[in-house]
Amino acid sequence: MNKDGGQGEGGSSVPDEEWERFLRESVDGTPDAPREPSARARVVTRRLQESPGQPEGWRSYSPARPKRRKGWYAVGLLVVLALLAVAVAPDRVTGWFGGGDGGAGEPLAAESERPTGAPPGEPALRPTREEPFRGSPAARWANGTAGITVPPAKATGWMSTAQVKVALDRTGDFLAASSLDPAVLRGERPARAIALINPRQQDVKNFLSTAFRTPDEKNDPLMLFSRYDGKHVRPAGDDIRTRGRVSYTEGKDGALRVSTDVTYVYPFVRAEGGDEVARTIVRREVVLDWNDPAKVITEPGTFSLVSYSVDITNGGCGPATGLLSPRFGPGRPAGAGEGPELDPYDRSISMTDRMRNAGDEECGTATRS
């Protein structure tokens, strides 16, 4: 999935004739009558409200104290002055050395497995329109689908190696169409993404119908799709930073079960203008099955949803609107913070454990943005 930023244009990366051939080759003999899939879609919503600027728990930058050395008074004075400048105006000093990303350094290597811990703390530098990921771990992340690791294809379940490759490509198409497509982000219906979901799943069909018509906590389009409130915000540039991975195994009835776990970082500015940048962080875990059409009733080229969950930081804390509505300003929004503190960049904790730790609280407190 070596795509990047302009994900909203173009169709699938797999030719239609290849996909049709893949389906024709998949059905042999006269198996038992296929059945309709029953989605076990478990919709779980936990929204973490961050405090833009310097959220509670954000690590501040404290330079080390220099050692005294005899005979080096002039150098020592310069060091003291430099450290004082860092303490008073870290943004300006960072720019002296070309570290506009807040000292982020080189881009991170691809994530091939679950990390063992959270990313280290970053200097508490405010994001800008020119550098909207400044002061966050996302400054070292890749843009768009380039930040999502996809493993090599190999024969699994009912699929050959070539068929698995096609399914993984189509899964990548869904991730791009649901969470990175500029038109979908602006609030348009995610038609390309929905077209990849098996329409035979009646409960999922009902969910989608309700979610876009009258969203509520149980039927919220943000569970699967990223959409912002254009009346209040607009993107701060074209980049969407991502970090995550795709994995697969054999599922029920020999299905190819694909698990996706991706964190998306969206920078926004106010719709009416201004230079202040607020970041919204969305982590989604979506599990899906590419079913054997000899065993499960499915439409060609579609997958069945198994489960999906979402964790949203600074996307709005309150009744579901179906849109991301980030807050701006240095103060903590009213009503936030009743839940536990969580680091939205920590990918070492599974979504299941994160939801368990959050308990029944609707809104927690993000330790950084």
**For each of the chain's 369 residues, which pLDDT tens digit applies?**
443 444 434 444 555 555 555 555 444 444 456 776 754 433 333 333 333 333 322 222 222 222 333 333 334 444 444 455 444 444 444 333 333 344 456 889 999 999 999 999 878 789 999 999 999 999 999 999 999 999 999 999 999 999 999 999 999 999 999 999 999 999 999 999 999 999 999 999 999 999 999 999 899 999 999 999 999 999 999 999 999 999 999 999 999 999 999 999 999 999 998 999 999 999 999 999 999 999 999 999 999 999 999 999 999 888 899 999 999 986 444 334 566 788 999 999 998 888 777 766 667 788 898
CB proximity list for 166: less than 8 A, separation 6 or greater: 14, 18, 19, 22
How many Å apart are CA 260 and CA 195, to the nearest integer?
A: 18
CB distance 300 to 23 below 8 Å: yes
The one-letter amino acid code at 224 reads: L
Nearest Cα residue to 49 out of 346, 307, 279: 279
135, two tokens: 């002061």
Neighbours of 213 (CB within 10 A): 9
Give pLDDT, residue 30: 42
CB proximity list for 71: less than 8 A, separation 6 or greater: none
260, two tokens: 């996706």
CB distance 144 to 3 below 8 Å: yes
153, two tokens: 């294809």
The reported pTM is 0.75
How many Å apart are CA 267 and CA 214, to the nearest integer?
A: 27
How many Å apart are CA 10 and CA 186, to the nearest integer?
A: 17
How many Å apart are CA 179 and CA 284, to the nearest integer?
A: 9
The beta strands (E) that lie in the chain are given as 43-49, 142-143, 148-149, 233-235, 241-250, 256-270, 278-290, 304-313, 341-342, 363-366
Neighbours of 293 (CB within 10 A): 16
The strand pairing partners of 289, in sequence order, are 257, 304
Coil vs helix vs strand at 197: strand
How many Å apart are CA 131 and CA 126, to the nearest integer?
A: 9
